[in-house]
Structure 1
Amino acid sequence: MAFFTLKEITEDTNEYISDLSYRIKRGEQESLIKMPIGILFLSEKDEIEWINPYLQKYFGKNEVLGKKIADVDEELASLIKENYKKKGPLEVAWGEHRFQMLIQTDIHAVYLMDITRYAEIEQHDQNTGMVVGQIFLDNYDEVTQTMTDKKVSNLSNYVTNELSNWARRFKMYLKRVDDDHFFVVAYTGVLKQLEDEKFKILDRIRERTSKQNFPLTLSIGIAYEDDNLAALARLAQSNLDLALGRGGDQVVVKTPNGQARFYGGKTNPMEKRTRVRARMISQALQELMSQADQVFVMGHKQPDMDSVGACLGIRRIAAMNKKKCWIVLDKDNLHSDVQRLMEELEQYPDIKGKIISTEEALEKTTEQSLLIMVDHSKPSISASKELYTKLINRVMVIDHHRRGEEFPENPVLVYIEPYASSTCELITEMFEYQSKESEPINKIEATAMLTGIIVDTRSFSLRTGTRTFDAASYLRSVGADSVIAQHFMKENADSFLQRNHLIDRVEFIGDHIALCAGEANKVYDPVTAAQAADALLTVSGVEASFVITQRRDGKIGISARSNGKVNVQVVMERLGGGGHLSNAATQLENVLVNEAREQLLDILKKEN
């Protein structure tokens, strides 16, 4: 009895397993044929051995079995070839559809899942994110203050109409909130279109108003990728402040955690600083000094004459306000002109004794100390990053370069004027508002500051305004010696030969750009590279020059110069540097000279 029962159970089990195996096998076969995933089997010779009905639909009624995949569809064949050895599913575009592709190389099988609908939903979601913008008319007050009411009204109407038409064209909401301030709301899909055309509205308004002899420029701050509208509005205002800090006439686009993207900034910023602002900054500086127990001032790494001259100027202003001031300087890494200045300072022990190293500065600092950064606003290029970190909440910035994305976190006072020729010019103006009873600036300080102005303006040929000549005139009146200034700027024989060697390696990119790269394993002085870039700019027809060299610290340096028609600052920012529209530079790590040259050429090609 037990035997028959066991036999019956065994037969039932075998029948069940057989039926289940059949159903599984049939399910596998049915799924291969009917499921919404394209399946393709290829031979060793890339011939189509089998294709399921779902994928056959994409080929229509064409017979494909036995044919090479390249003969049937070159695009699909190319996709398979490109991704054959890649692991995991990949998203690819084939024809008008998007697919997830998976390739099993051991059996030469290709699986294609059509995700076009999901991609469209994702794209729609990406294109409908909220974008908030703040638009500011940079120089509206300056332009309109001498105009009649009728002309002001006409200009205002023109700008409003231009911006309204622009907003209508891109389906944006635009609201005027003040005479010189607009608010705009759009979608992320529109932002991509605006970036693709590089915000042509800037050029249009500038060019049209210039023809009417009332040149007006715009600055725009744009923010996106945040669900909080209030946070977006604040970020848009912050981006607008960054655009204005860089000189205006440009757009800054930035997400809460992303890097800023810059558009425009093609023209030299118009001078907007006034004597009133210089006096207010001077008074604010005096107040900060009075609250501090001591002052530290530092320029950027490998300081030039403008940087060191500015430090000497601040030290003198501190002395006029009866405050001890220390100049933080790396004496082992100085340009030849600064070295000559240091030699002259041997005759001025009071000044010489105030020049200290980073280590000495860190020992002297207290919570009441004030740090002044001059001729730069990027903490990463400060003479002492450690000192900046220690006094991070007691930092003032005085600079004439356009502000970059990197900036002190919480500065107590900022004086950035991109319209000024040099930092020495800005600081020279402050002497007018110091106590007349104090000991005035002396000969060597005045000469160093005058040299800083001469170097940065290339002997008063670039970025030179009436205020520049006023500053130079003041420095001459208090004892600046032009003969000593020329002595500081003289180059030695090695530097002269090195500069000519660089110039001899020049190549011309198009009709207006000169580029030269130094020898791969030869170290060049950064000053020599800058002088070579200056010299190339004197060649007829050259509007911009770039010099690429190996530096002593192993980095690759690029010095860029222009006559104002090419914005070399934007080019250098693409490579992590910065500067002015006509004077900029960058330093690259872990690359060779030739690789840096190729990177620069790629950027120049995109910019043009």
Structure 2
Amino acid sequence: MLSYMQRRYVRFLLYAIVILFVVMAIVSQVNNWWLVFPFFILAGATLVVLIIAEFKLNKQIQQTTNMLASRVQKAEQRAVSEMPLGLLIYNEESQVEWMNAYMRKYFDYEEVIGLTLNNEESDLWRIIQNATTDNTQTIQWNNQYFEVTVNKNERFLYLQDANELEGLVQENEENQIVIGVIFLDNYDEWTQGMDDRRRGALNNIVTSTLGQWARTHAIFLKRMSSERYTVVMRYSTLVELEQNKFAILDVIREKTSKKNIPLTLSIGLAYNDSDLTLLAELSQSSLDLALGRGGDQVVIKQPEAKVRFYGGKTNPMEKRTRVRARVISQALQELISQSDNVVVVGHRFPDMDVIGSCLGIRKIAEMNGKDAYVVVDTEMLNDDVQRLMSEIDKNTDVTRNIISPQKVKNHITKKTLLVVVDTHNPAMVEANELLDMIDQCVIIDHHRRSEHFIEHPNPVLVYIEPYASSTAELITELFEYQPTGTSISAIEATAMLAGIVVDTKNFTLRTGSRTFDAASYLRSLGADTVLVQQFLKENLDTFVKRNRLVETMSFYHDGMAITMGPDDVPYNNVLAAQAADRMLGMEGVEASFVLFRREDDRVGISARSLGEINVQIIMEMLDGGGHLSNAATQIADVSCEEAEVRLKEAIDAYWKGEE
């Protein structure tokens, strides 16, 4: 480069020429024109010197420019070849045209020019195909992390090592705070009536076991009450606990069972948010969900992500009390009294339990002097429900309150109360547009709570008891605490008894002592058991179609039987459920799955088990749900064969989780 002195020298010559010409102009004005010649000669000499200096300077500038260009070119070549940034250029045939040395070290081939990426390096080609042009993304390739930028128009990519950055990201993720709540599901039930010595021994077993578990995994554990603990851990610890499927659930159950006090745990956990207050709320919500599903399980939540479940292997033990039924009944009575009227809905494609439960709520509203409208789509009824509805039609006092989804909208006011029975999933509610039209609702259900829950309108009362056989059983218990003076008709009692009979498979499944108490109460009100059997009769065509399903069943894994109906023949839900029940009665069958084409063109799967296999978890993998021993799902836009493949994948995942 030119020195400062050289640049100043040229500047002084220019100043000298300007001064000479100024002097010449002054001299010429005073008539001493002959003095102009010396100045002219001096200016000419100065100009020559300036031209020579400019020539030398231009030459030096050219030399300096060439030198800089050469050095920059060498630096660029060295940077492209040696800097820790991979460069790759490919052609339209996805063949490598050129790559730098840094990129070459990730290939095992001696000759990489001409290598076809979509044949030899499918992982890298898939990354290129999925990349967004000019957007940098972090990918994993060759067991390492890279930041990749792909220009699809020019067909080249940049690859930069991101292992250190990813390591920091993973370290930050592993150190996230996880907040949780541990709850002893049935502590109060078992310790009620215990003497101090036995209660102390039980507390010692639970506290010492949980304390050892917390110390082993570096978990902060604080007992907040006799049945409640608070836990704080890091995300890396949560990953470790998930890998062993939260074995602490089994440990507590086994240790307490040896003392003939089979306690179970429910755990709610939350993470992935910097707001600890929100995490505390999410952990409590997770615990509520675990308890709503029957307890003995772990529920993990994070904001805007799918909920994860662990455990839930045991049948829920009956632990609801008469006190809770009385409190719920009185709360429902107060809500009805404050409303203008009541709208009652169940799930789509209503069964006996839905119809019986809806009629029960209608009667409770009538006992409190309010009109109640039962929403039923009569075009979506199975044969057994149609027979029930035909019998109900003979009783005009009941029929006048059964209304279609279209007509019920004319009866809605600002103070209408919506009661949803036998479901809590908003997508399954009959005429679910009512959820947006009514300001408050009550939910009464006996299914295990799922992550999909009615949040709008505001649920002012939630009564979910997975320990009950049916929703009709829960509502029957509410009658005892309602105002007297209005009796339940025989057809209403019969409809509710039919709901219990269907959901318990004639009192063989999910039947507790309270179930028989409810059935006995309904029988005393005039419920006709013979009429119930009339409702449940089936025609010859249904009998043959069900037996054909059973006939084609095959085993998949130990004790799991699968059958599938023809893809072009629609089956109704009841027939498929009956086939699943019949398969369960076969020797060697622990769980049964029936795949069938529904009338709405979706593929339905009806699942049943004897209790050892949790079909609810399997169905939840397919966006369904239900009970441990009774669950189902529906899958859209697939064939029966494709649905079977997905079912088998879910079964494989379930067994892998059990190992």
Give the corresponding residue for 1:415: 463
1:131/1:222 contact within 8 Å kept: yes
Structure 1 pair 228/90, CA: closer, same or farther in 2 (3 Å)? Answer: closer
Query: What secondary structure is seen at the aligned counterpart in 2 of 1:277?
Result: helix
Q: Counterpart of 2:269?
A: 222
Which string of whole-angstrom CA distances, capped at 9 and with x for unpartnered residues, describes residues 522-555 of structure 1?
2111111111111111111211111111111121
Report what 2:445 is aligned to: 399
Of the three residues 324, 328, 331, the one matched with 1:284 is 331
| Counterpart amino acid of residue 36 in structure 1 | P
Show the counterpart of 1:327.
374
Q: 1:591 aligns with which of 635, 638, 642?
A: 638
Q: 1:58 & 1:279 partners in 2: Cα distance?
A: 71
Distance change >3 Å, CA 105–CA 326, structure 1 → 2: closer
Q: Quote the residue 1:471 is aligned against.
A: 518
Residue 46 of structure 1 contacts residue 68 of structure 1 at CA under 8 Å; is this kept in 2? Answer: no
The SS at the match of 1:358 is coil
State the shift of 1:505 in Å: 2.4
Residues of 2 paired with 1:512 and 1:477: CA distance? 41
Unpaired runs of 5+ residues, structure 1, are none
Corresponding residue for residue 379 of structure 1:
426
Q: In the aligned structure 1, how far is the partner of 2:367 from the partner of 2:264?
A: 40
Query: Which deviations, in whole Å up to 9, do the C-alpha atoms of 1:465-515 show, x marking residues without a partner?
Result: 111111111111111111110010111222212212222221211121111
Retained in 1: the 8 A contact 2:313–2:613?
Answer: yes
SS at 2:515 equivalent: helix
TM-score where L is the length of structure 1: 0.91
Q: Which structure's CA Rg is the greater one?
A: 2
Name the residue aligned to 1:497.
544
Instruction: Go from structure 1 to structure 2 and tell me whether the alpha carbon gap of 1:381 and 1:81 turns closer, same or farther (over 3 Å shift).
Output: closer
Out of 233, 237, 240, the position equivalent to 2:280 is 233
Of residues 24, 29, 33 in structure 1, which corresponds to 2:77? 29
Equivalents in 2 of 1:400, 1:357: separation in Å?
25
Letter in 1 for 2:183: F
1:187 aligns with 2:242: no
- Shift of the 83–273 alpha-carbon distance from structure 1 to 2, 3 Å rule, reads closer
Equivalent position of 2:35 in the other structure:
none
- 2:338 and 2:301 map into 1 onto residues whose CA distance is 36
Distance 2:568 2:323 in 1: 52
Query: How far off its partner does 1:460 sit?
Result: 0.4
Separation of aligned partners in 1, 2:562 and 2:183: 37
The answer to whether the 8 A contact 1:132-1:224 is kept is: yes
Return the alpha-carbon distance in structure 2 between the equivalents of residues 433 and 127 of structure 1. 52
Q: Distance in 1 between matches of 2:577 and 2:358?
A: 22
| Preserved CA contact (<8 Å) 1:266 1:581 | yes
Change (3 A) 1:370 1:99: closer
- The answer to whether the 8 A contact 1:69-1:77 is kept is no
- Tell me if structure 2 keeps the 8 A contact 1:50–1:65: no
* Compared CA separation, residues 105 and 304, structure 1 to 2 (3 A): closer
Change in Cα spacing, 1:534 to 1:26, as seen in structure 2 (3 Å) is: same
Partners of 1:102 and 1:110 within 8 A in 2: yes
Quick one: structure 1 residues 103 and 149, their matched pair in 2 at CA, closer, same or farther if it must change by over 3 Å?
A: same
Opposite residue 526 of structure 2, the aligned amino acid is G
Q: Among residues 13, 18, 40, which one is paired with 2:66 in the alignment?
A: 18
Q: In structure 1, what is the Cα distance between the partners aligned to 2:616 and 2:147? A: 42
1:434 matched to 2:482: yes
> C-alpha distance in 2, partners of 1:369/1:109?
64
- Equivalent AA in structure 1 for residue 615 of structure 2: V
- Contact kept, 8 Å, 2:603 with 2:636, in 1: the verdict is yes
Instruction: Show CA shifts across 1:2-41 (max 9, x none).
Output: 9968977875665455334312211112213432235679
Cα deviation for residue 365 of structure 1 reads: 0.8
SS class of match (1:367): coil
Match in the other structure for 2:174: 127
Q: Equivalents in 1 of 2:159, 2:613: separation in Å?
A: 48
Residue type of the partner of 1:560?
A
1:65, 1:450 → 2: CA distance?
Answer: 75
Alignment of 1:483-522 (within 5 A): 483-522=530-569
Deviation of 1:78 after TM superposition, in Å, equals 6.2
Write the distance in 2 (CA, Å) between the matches of 1:531 and 1:296: 31
Equivalent in the alignment of 1:559: 606
How far residue 122 of structure 1 moved from its aligned partner, in angstroms, is: 0.8
* Code of the aligned partner of 1:23: R
**Matched ranges for 1:209-358 at <5 A:** 209-358=256-405
Equivalent position of 1:540 in the other structure: 587
Q: Give the root-mean-square deviation of aligned CA atoms.
A: 3.0
Match among 542, 549, 571 for residue 524 of structure 1? 571
- Determine helix, strand or coil for the equivalent of 2:379: coil
Task: Read off the aligned partner of 1:98 and give its amino acid letter.
Answer: Y
Structure 2: how far apart are the matches of 1:607 and 1:551?
Answer: 25
Q: How many corresponding residue pairs?
A: 598
* Residue matched to 2:25: none
Q: Equivalences for 1:129-148 in 2 at 5 Å?
A: 129-148=176-195
Contact kept, 8 Å, 2:450 with 2:625, in 1: the verdict is yes
Cα 1:565–1:19, aligned 2, differ >3 Å: closer, same or farther? same
* Contact 2:86 2:99 (C-alpha < 8 Å) held by counterparts: no
Amino acid at match of 1:298: V
Q: Assess if the C-alpha contact under 8 Å between 2:124 and 2:141 holds in 1.
A: no
Are 1:297 and 1:373, in contact at CA under 8 Å, matched by a contact in 2? yes
Q: Does structure 2 conserve the Cα–Cα contact (< 8 Å) formed by 1:99 and 1:112?
A: yes
- Deviation, structure 1 residue 434: 2.7
In the alignment, the residues of structure 2 paired with residue 40 and residue 259 of structure 1 have an alpha-carbon distance, to the nearest angstrom, of 38
| TM, length-normalised to structure 2 | 0.84
> Would the alpha carbon gap of residues 34 and 266 (structure 1) be closer, same or farther in structure 2, given more than 3 Å must change?
same
Q: Does 1:447 align with 2:510?
A: no
1:91 to partner: Cα distance: 4.3
In 2, Cα distance between equivalents of 1:112 and 1:578: 45
Q: What is the aligned partner in structure 2 of residue 604 from structure 1?
A: 651
Bigger Cα displacement from structure 2, 442-451 vs 494-503: 494-503
Aligned to 1:153: 200
Per-residue displacement from partner, 1:276-327 (whole Å, max 9, x unpaired)? 1111211111111111121111111000001100111111222222221111
Letter paired with 1:414? V
Percent of aligned positions that are identical: 49
